[in-house]
Amino acid sequence: MNSSLCVLAVLVSVKVRLFQERHRHFWDRENSPCKERESMKERVKRVYVIGLDGMMFPMYERFAAEGLLPNLKKLADAGIVGEAYPSMPVWTPTNWTTLATGAHTGTHSVSRWFLNLPNPKHEDKTLSAFVRPAVAAENVFEAAAKAGLKSVAIHYPAASPSQSPLAHVIDGFGHPNYGSTPFEVTPAWGYTTQDNLTNSTRVVLQPAKATQPTPQTQQASLLESAHQPPLADGSWQFLPECPAGAKPPLEFPIEIITKREGENQTLWGLVLDTQGNGYDTVAICEARDSRTELGRTSLGAWSDWIYRSFTVEGAAQAAAFRCKAIEIAPDASRLLLYRSQVMHVADFCEPPELSKSLVERFGPYLEHASVFPYVWGIADLDTCLEEIEYQCQWIARAGKFLLEEQDYALLYTHIHIFDYINHHFLPLVDPACPGYREENAAEGWRAYRESYKVADRLFGTLLADASADTAVIVVSDHAAIPQFRATDIPRLLHDNGFLAYREPLAHFDPNEDFAKIDMERTKVFITPVRNYELFVNAPEGSEEYVRIQREVITLLRSWVDAETGQCPVAVALPKYHAALMGCWGDQCGDIVYAMEDGYVSGYPGGDAAGQDPYVFKPAEYGAHHGPYLPTARTALSSNLAYLLAQGPGLKQGYQRPVERLGYVHMTSVVPLVCHLLGIEPPAQCQGVLPRDFLEGVAATADRVPDLPDWEWGTQVDGWGDRVWTQKRDMFEGFMPGYERRD
């Protein structure tokens, strides 16, 4: 008995030793995960995560090949670059939340631009997806704080309010829409002699009267231009001197209206002929007195920043703005003055004192910089690109200062640059779009090239003289493809008896007409800004619920565009299958769907396209991302995200072979950041470290090309199970490293 026990003990000892040898990295301190993290802490002192909303890998490849992106190309050659798989739905807030938490959509719960609480079926209130309380997962800033590291998030969605004294925030709202930020007195505006321009005030130019007439003001009465109205009441105490023969000064009011309850301000614009060759300059004055001049802008040039105190909601608010003369006709027959966003200068950071420090060092912070003013006609494209560049450079300089000269270890930022470009300009350059016209392509390509060059210069500033212990990740949340056709899914549901209204409707807009749904009769309903899901109006799990769910899914899957022969819906799933899309939880719909490439639901329609009453030619062709699958693409464009990573311990010149390994998922970015910092990932992080990015790790493993000759089994036997146990001795001496272990 004792001898048997001894033999058993020896066998167990041998087995344990073999197991230890095979898995020694689990307890070998030299190779343990803890040791690896400590090693990374020594090698990496700071990590920049630069989020460029909408950046597209095919566009990067095109412009890098043209030599337009030297800084990004240098990073890519020294690191890893490729496409990444966004979380679904492929929306902005959804994916920036994934990129900060490493969690899937269903876990962090940000599936839309706002949350319906307690859930979409029993809504009591809504909560913006751009505030920290909307996120049901720990983020990377909080994980860094647990490790004693200080971080800063700039213009990053849902970073505010901060949950840790070590997690600092600069504009932690990060909403891309015009006029949405809480840190502005009022958004950008135009002052123009033209009619009907969006977000502008029509002004009338009138001769500026001086208290004591001067030769220049006396000439005002001699103006012959029919567009000049009679003199206005009020006169100028002082007017600037103008050269002999110059046209007399003209005035117009510059009214600044606070977007929240407050005291509006009226400044005065003075249109001047400073060279005697016609009107060429606008002076901005506090009152009708040229001695109160706050700044001036000549044609095509920015004024200096103008600092003013505004009263908003009963409190004084320090703010800054600047102006640019977009158009001044020499005879003053046309004028267009652009005024930038009026931004706070004192309270847009956490902690608040950081605001003053950064503004003193780098100038006012500009929160909104987009091509919207160009689309509306209140600015030209160059002006919009200049605002975008100012924002990019401000963020780059502030981030560099904090991470290199202060004690911050991590920077996250979100810059919405390319999403604005994609939505407006992609249909102009992608021939796959039915609205493509070759004569319009040059305008689109100019916008793309110049915006990508703006982004590239950001990295030139950020990484100038960067030390070797710096790591950089460049990532977008998605890209876009152009729209081909618009669809009317509410009408499809209504005509098939699933969606009922309180009154007849020619068109149903979920964002405007939700209250018009007859909740007593309707079988399904759509909530605002949720254009990828439907809710069944029956108790979940009941026979009625299951029946309606199946019938609607069958309708969506079998609907065929009569003109193209395509099903406009790429995939439609019941809630219990939505986990395939990373969707679950209290914000998930009962039916989740994504549109086929180019088909859009939930956006304005247009003219009937032909035989199908539910498919339309869009009123205006755009580009989109949210309605589509992440892998939607055309020959020129792609909906997949852009990802670049460079730093100590990462491969150089590597691009993942997606046909072998698939795409890196958005949830993997946080584990990569935490690996570089040598810290534990956030508590709810579900992503995995992409080990093929690491130095010394083989990206792929191939099967043995040649196998020994043996009698093949049939059917399920083949190479495994019984045949393997009979033939495994054939591999001794054949497979390198194979050793039979009985």
What is the chain's mean pLDDT, rounded?
90
Residue 11 has pLDDT above 60, yes or no: no
Across 219-258, the runs of DSSP E, i.e. the strands, are 250-256
> Rounded to an integer, what distance in angstroms lies between the CA atom of residue 568 and that of residue 432?
16
Residue 357 has pLDDT above 50, yes or no: yes
pLDDT > 90 fraction of the chain, expressed in percent and rounded: 78
Residue 60 CB partners (closer than 8 Å, separation 6+): 69, 72, 81, 452, 642
Contact 627, 639 (CB under 8 A): no
Q: What are the tokens at 681? A: 């990932």
pLDDT in tens, 376-430: 999 999 999 999 999 999 999 999 999 999 999 999 999 999 999 999 999 999 9
pLDDT at 734: 55
DSSP string, 290-352: GGGEEEEEEBT-BPPPEEEEEEETTEEEEEEE-EEEEEE-TTSS-EEEEE--EEESSSSEEST
Contact 313, 329 (CB under 8 A): no
Q: How far is CA 41 from CA 36, 48, 241, 356, 512, in A?
A: 9, 15, 64, 32, 52
215 band by pLDDT with thresholds 50, 70 and 90: very low
pLDDT in tens, 124-134: 889 999 999 99
Tell me the average pLDDT across 426-442.
97
Amino acid of residue 40: M
Q: How far is CA 191 from CA 194, 225, 255, 287, in A?
A: 9, 20, 9, 17
Q: Is the dihedral of CA 71, 72, 76, 79 positive or negative?
A: positive
Report how far apart the first and last C-alpha atoms of the chain are (Å, whole number).
24
Residue 342 has pLDDT above 70, yes or no: yes
> Rounded to an integer, what distance in angstroms lies between the CA atom of residue 734 and that of residue 252?
90
225 band by pLDDT with thresholds 50, 70 and 90: very low
Q: Other C-beta atoms within 10 Å of 234: how many?
A: 12
pLDDT at 424: 97
Tell me the average pLDDT across 618-622.
90
Residue 716 has pLDDT above 80, yes or no: no
Residue 463 has pLDDT above 90, yes or no: yes
pLDDT at 741: 56
Contact 325, 282 (CB under 8 A): yes
In the 3-class helix/strand/coil scheme, how is 267-297 assigned residue by residue? EEEEEECCCCCCCCEEEEECCCCHHHEEEEE
3-state secondary structure of 737: coil
Lowest mean pLDDT among 16-25, 185-194, 312-321, 430-439: 16-25
Q: Which residue has the higher pLDDT, 511 or 304?
A: 304
Most confident range, picked from 42-56, 706-720, 726-740: 42-56
> Rounded to an integer, what distance in angstroms lies between the CA atom of residue 400 and that of residue 310?
31
Residue 82 dihedral angles phi and psi, to the nearest 5°: 165, -160
> Rounded to an integer, what distance in angstroms lies between the CA atom of residue 627 and that of residue 91?
8
Lowest mean pLDDT among 28-42, 331-345, 463-477, 665-679: 28-42
Q: What are the tokens at 509? A: 């807009």
Tell me the average pLDDT across 715-735.
55
27 band by pLDDT with thresholds 50, 70 and 90: very low
Residue 468 has pLDDT above 80, yes or no: yes
DSSP lists the bridge partners of residue 256 as 265
Burial class from Cβ neighbours inside 10 Å (0-12, 13-18, 19+) for residue 249 reads buried
pLDDT at 6: 58
> Rounded to an integer, what distance in angstroms lies between the CA atom of residue 165 and that of residue 161?
11
Contact 346, 352 (CB under 8 A): yes
Q: What are the tokens at 252? A: 């117009």
Residue 686 has pLDDT above 70, yes or no: yes
pLDDT at 2: 60
pLDDT at 612: 84
